[in-house]
Chains A and B, each alone.
Chain A
Amino acid sequence: DVKVTQSSRYLVKRTGEKVFLECVQDMDHENMFWYRQDPGLGLRLIYFSYDVKMKEKGDIPEGYSVSREKKERFSLILESASTNQTSMYLCASSLLEGAEDGYTFGSGTRLTVV
């Protein structure tokens, strides 16, 4: 079964820490995405990548950066975690630019910043 795997289901970090959220897909997909999900706000796109070493800002990139050194891995970095970054983070991948197959999502990482 094809998968998008996020390294942690739950994380608790302190304010000011540098946080890495890892995502790996085994489907040889070109496109990868990071979303955050908050109650009442739905899913909001943080960053996406359509190729190795390529990245594009989504709707809410402030306070985040990303890294894609290999096709299968897309990392989200919180440079200096803040309490307003407490959220559910979802990684996704897709094959085609038109993505007729849709996104495949990971199970999410629930991050709490204290």
Chain B
Amino acid sequence: LAKTTQPISMDSYEGQEVNITCSHNNIATNDYITWYQQFPSQGPRFIIQGYKTKVTNEVASLFIPADRKSSTLSLPRVSLSDTAVYYCLVVPPGGYQKVTFGTGTKLQVIP
């Protein structure tokens, strides 16, 4: 299974765009890239998933370059409520059985 590497923490001011990059050098051909958000004392919440190029939903955008060895989660105009831990996962299409969440990136939004 592909191992992911992401920054341990990031700070951002309110209203700024935040980009969190994840590297996954040994991603397999059919693996998906998925991001989760976790607030304190809650379980992680699915944000976005992609395979290649760009995916956008009402919460975030996900940019995946052609070689797929990294991906970037983009949060537009963050607010204090976006303070959370963000996890990057590489998911094989056969299931989630052995997916590793890692320690994630702790994003602190500053007023």
- Chain A residues with a Cβ under 8 A of chain B: 4, 31, 33, 35, 40-45, 48, 50, 56, 58-59, 90-92, 94, 97-108
Chain A residues lying within 8 Å of B43, measured Cβ to Cβ, are: 4, 90-92, 105-108
Partner of A41, one of B94, B99, B103: B103
Q: Are B46 and A103 in contact (CB under 8 A)?
A: yes
Known: A35-B101, A58-B98, A102-B34. 17 other contacts (CB 8 A): A40-B103, A42-B87, A42-B104, A43-B44, A44-B100, A45-B97, A45-B99, A48-B96, A92-B43, A94-B96, A97-B94, A100-B32, A100-B49, A102-B46, A105-B43, A105-B44, A107-B43
> B29 on the interface (CB 8 Å rule)?
no
CB distance from A104 to the nearest CB of B (A): 7
A48 contacts across to B, CB distance below 8 A = 96-97
Neighbouring B residues of A101 by C-beta, 8 Å: 46
Pick from B49, B95, B104: contact of A97, CB below 8 A. Answer: B95
Please classify the interface of chain B as helix (H, G, I), strand (E, B), loop, or mixed, using the class held by over half of its residues.
loop
Which of A40, A92, A103, A107 is the one whose CB lies under 8 Å from B41?
Answer: A107
Q: How far is the CB of A114 from chain B (nearest CB, A)?
A: 21
Contacts of A104 in B (CB 8 A): 46
A108-B103 Cα distance, complex, nearest whole Å:
17
| Contacting residues of chain B (39-81) with chain A, CB-CB under 8 angstroms | 41-46, 49
Q: 27 pairs across A/B with beta carbons < 8 Å?
A: A33-B96, A35-B101, A40-B103, A42-B102, A42-B104, A43-B87, A43-B101, A44-B100, A48-B96, A48-B97, A58-B97, A59-B98, A59-B100, A90-B43, A92-B43, A97-B94, A98-B91, A98-B93, A98-B94, A98-B95, A99-B95, A99-B96, A100-B32, A103-B36, A103-B44, A105-B44, A108-B41
